[in-house]
Amino acid sequence: MTKVYIDGELYEKEHAKVSVFDHGLLYGDGVFEGIRVYNGKIFKCEKHIDRLYESAHAIGIRIPMSKVEMGRAIEDTLKANSMTQAYIRLVVTRGVGDLGLDPKLCARPSVIIITDKIQLYPPEVYEKGLELIISSTPRNHQSALSPRIKSLNYLNNIMAKMEGQRAGVREVVMLNLEGYVCECSADNIFLVKDGVVKTPPPCAGILKGITRDIILDIADEMKVPAKEENITRFDLYVADEVFLCGTGAELIAAIKIDGRDIGEGKPGPIFKKLLKRFRELALA
Pair 129, 89 in one domain: no
Residue ranges of alpha helices (H) inside 28-168 are 45-58, 67-80, 123-128, 155-166
The pTM of this model reads 0.94
The letter for the amino acid at 57 is H
- My answer on whether 143 and 219 are in the same domain is yes
Q: Are 90 and 139 part of one and the same domain?
A: no
User: pLDDT in tens for each of the 284 residues of the chain?
Assistant: 799 999 999 999 999 999 999 999 999 999 999 999 999 999 999 999 999 999 999 999 999 999 999 999 999 999 999 999 999 999 999 999 999 999 999 999 999 999 999 888 999 999 999 999 999 999 999 999 999 999 999 999 999 999 999 999 999 999 999 999 999 999 999 999 999 999 999 999 999 999 999 999 999 999 999 999 999 999 999 999 999 999 999 999 999 999 999 999 999 999 999 999 999 999 98
d(CA 215, CA 282): 12
Residue 59 CA to residue 79 CA, distance in Å, equals 31
152 and 203 together in one domain: yes
* Same-domain check for residues 160 and 207: yes
Residue range of the domain that includes 8: 3-116
Q: Determine if residue 234 is left, alpha or beta; phi over 0 gives left, psi from -120 to 50 gives alpha, anything else beta.
A: alpha
Name the 3-class secondary structure at 90: strand
Residues 105 and 169 in one domain: no
The full DSSP string for 167-186 is TT-SEEEEE-TTS-EEEESS
Q: Give the separation between CA 70 and CA 3, rounded to whole angstroms.
A: 16
CATH code for position 60 = 3.30.470.10
Catalytic, 150? Answer: yes
Domain boundary among 95, 116, 137: 116
Where a domain ends, among 92, 116, 140? 116
Residue of 150, 223, 273, 276 with catalytic role: 150
Same structural domain, 127 and 86 = no
Query: If we measure between CA atoms, which residue out of 158, 78, 145, 151 comes closest to residue 114?
Result: 78
- Assess whether 139 and 274 both reside in one domain: yes
Are residue 102 and residue 155 in the same domain, yes or no? Answer: no
The domain boundary, picked from 90, 116, 142, lies at 116
CATH classification at residue 267: 3.20.10.10
Residues 52 and 72 in one domain: yes
Same domain? 79 vs 212: no
How many Å apart are CA 270 and CA 127, to the nearest integer? 15
Q: How many domains does the chain contain in total?
A: 2
Q: Phi-psi category of 57—alpha, beta or left, where left has phi over 0 and alpha has psi -120 to 50?
A: alpha
The answer to whether residues 84 and 191 belong to one domain is no
